[in-house]
Structure 1
Amino acid sequence: MNVKLIAHTQLSEEFYDSFDEYGGHSGWSGNPFERMNAADSAAVALTAIRTCYSPLKPTEIVAQEGEKYFGNAASDGEGGTEADRLFRHITGSGHTSTLEHITYTFAIEGVSRALLAQLTRHRHLSFSVQSQRYVRMGSADKIGGFDSVFPPSIEGNPEAKRRFRGMMINAQEDYDTLRSLGVPPEDARMVLPNAAACSLVMTGNSRTLLDFYAKRRPGRGAQHEIADLAVRLRDEIVKVDPWLAPYFDTKKEGE
């Protein structure tokens, strides 16, 4: 499995340029988030949250309140900035719709069709998946035949691994035979197993991805492959948005 973040929420240049227009106080020029080590996504979250409770316009909030929230220590004694305190308060109160404005797009490679079926049970995720209809899976095709995902319970059992590998070889031979008999790829793919690997591009917002992690992380009874995916998605997110790390529940990870 290979998981890479390929895009995430960023502030627009026009929004950056508006800080001076709406700010009106000294010391607020250029990129304030570099100075205060605040992520663009946190500015989006602050804008969404304060829009619900502030008389200011959304375009004015970061310029006029950013210093207060990102420049001061949290008043609740829980660490971080006042922005972190606000985020804790909002998520604790269940107002997590404000996190839906932060999105992430991932390249996910080498996962099984069984995992793909589980992914589709989660709402508010968008997928573009490698097609077994238009991508021909024959041994002689450009792809060189389908790859297989071996579960750990099979990988660690020599006899089971030998038999499983034989089943994958047989499935490939059956697919090739059907294609040689004139069966189109869209019908020949019916013999391909759940273990057949695929790649996809997936986009989700932070609320959905936090919910996905809470349900699929290690220690919650999820199948190994999707639990591994949950951890990899989390790791990619916190690389660019470390402020979200506390919101990923890791208390029982590894159980």
Structure 2
Amino acid sequence: MSVNLIAHTQLSDGFYDSLDIYNEFIEYEGNQFDRWRATDAQAVALSAIRTCYSANKPSEIVATEGERYFGNTASDGEGGTEADRLFRHITRSGHTSTLEHLSFTFAVEGVSRALLAQLTRHRVGFSYSVQSQRYVRMGSSDKSGGFDYVVPPSIREKEPGAMAVYKASMRALQQDYDTLRELSVPPEDARMALPNAAATNILMTVNLRALLDFYAKRKGGRGSQWEIAELAERLRKEVTKVEPWLEPYFDAV
């Protein structure tokens, strides 16, 4: 399994340009983001939350309220800035629709079709583009070189006999697929012979609220199958590399 974050919430150049009209936002060099150490996602989260409660326009909130939230230590004694305190308060109060404005796009590669079936049960807040077994031909002589497959640890870690049986099954299914194709069965029908273990690739975009809900349900120790539990941890790792302030949110679910 390979999981890579390929895109996430970023402020537009136009938004940065609009901040120039607020003198309090500009420093002698650079801008307040350098001093605040705030990420673009935090700026979006602040804008979303304060839009609900502030007389200021959404486009004005970072410039007019940013110092108050990003420039001061959290008053609840739990660490971070006043922005962190606000984010904690909103999350605990259940106003998590404001987290839907933060999104992440992942390349998820080399996972099984069994995992795909579980993953796509999560629909609200998720978007998927999946490698097609109809249009990507999986024959031994095709560009793919045949289908790849995922091996469960329960098979890999057993005595060699279990792995031998599993590999033999995969070879037989590949041969069956190839034979069906040789008999002029179209790929979209020949794929019916491919197993749940067959590997696929997914481009997935998810908002933060949906991702935290997914993690709460699929992380290890919640009865999830090993592959989707591993995916949950890898998604968390990718997100917190670029948005380390979100680490406690994953811990809390």
Q: Shared fold (TM-score greater than 0.5)?
A: yes
Aligned residue number for residue 79 of structure 2: 79
Query: In structure 1, what residue type is equivalent to 2:248?
Result: P
1:165-197 CA distances to partner (integer Å, 9 max, x unpaired)? Answer: 111001000000000000000000001000000
Aligned residue number for residue 49 of structure 2: 49
Corresponding pairs, count: 250
Shift of 1:160: 1.3
Tell me: CA distance 1:184–1:209, structure 2 relative to 1, closer, same or farther (3 Å).
same
Query: In structure 1, what residue type is equivalent to 2:118?
Result: Q
Q: Distance in 2 between matches of 1:35 and 1:171?
A: 59
Shift of 1:25: 2.7
Question: Percent identity, aligned pairs only?
Answer: 69
Shift of 1:26: 6.8
1:126–1:202 Cα contact (<8 Å) kept: yes
Write the mapping of 1:176-255 to structure 2, written as runs, cut at 5 A: 176-249=178-251
Q: Distance in 1 between matches of 2:181 and 2:234?
A: 36
Range that drifts further, 205-214 or 32-41: 32-41
Q: Distance in 2 between matches of 1:245 and 1:34?
A: 21
Aligned residue number for residue 2 of structure 1: 2
1:138–1:145 Cα contact (<8 Å) kept: yes
Aligned residue number for residue 25 of structure 1: 24
Structure 2: 5+ residue runs without aligned partners?
A: none
Shift of 1:250: 6.8
Q: What secondary structure, in the 3-state scheme, does the structure 2 residue paired with 1:236 have? A: helix
Aligned residue number for residue 98 of structure 2: 98
2:25–2:31 Cα contact (<8 Å) kept: no
Q: Which of residues 144, 163, 172 in structure 1 aligns to 2:165?
A: 163
Shift of 1:19: 1.5
2:20–2:26 Cα contact (<8 Å) kept: no
Q: What secondary structure, in the 3-state scheme, does the structure 1 residue paired with 2:185 have? A: coil
1:214–1:249 Cα contact (<8 Å) kept: no
Query: In structure 1, what residue type is equivalent to 2:146?
Result: G
Tell me: CA distance 1:26–1:122, structure 2 relative to 1, closer, same or farther (3 Å).
closer
Q: What secondary structure, in the 3-state scheme, does the structure 1 residue paired with 2:110 have? A: strand
Q: Distance in 2 between matches of 1:112 and 1:250?
A: 29
Q: What secondary structure, in the 3-state scheme, does the structure 1 residue paired with 2:24 have? A: coil
1:85-108 CA distances to partner (integer Å, 9 max, x unpaired)? Answer: 000000000000000000000001
Q: Distance in 2 between matches of 1:27 and 1:106?
A: 34
TM-score (norm. length: structure 1): 0.95
Aligned residue number for residue 145 of structure 2: 144
Query: In structure 2, what residue type is equivalent to 1:25?
Result: E
1:7–1:105 Cα contact (<8 Å) kept: yes
Q: What secondary structure, in the 3-state scheme, does the structure 1 residue paired with 2:20 have? A: helix
Q: Distance in 2 between matches of 1:58 and 1:24?
A: 18
1:186-211 CA distances to partner (integer Å, 9 max, x unpaired)? Answer: 00000100000001100000111111
1:95-137 CA distances to partner (integer Å, 9 max, x unpaired)? Answer: 0000000000000100000000001101221111110000000
2:24–2:63 Cα contact (<8 Å) kept: no
Aligned residue number for residue 136 of structure 2: 135
Shift of 1:77: 0.2
TM-score (norm. length: structure 2): 0.96
Tell me: CA distance 1:237–1:78, structure 2 relative to 1, closer, same or farther (3 Å).
same
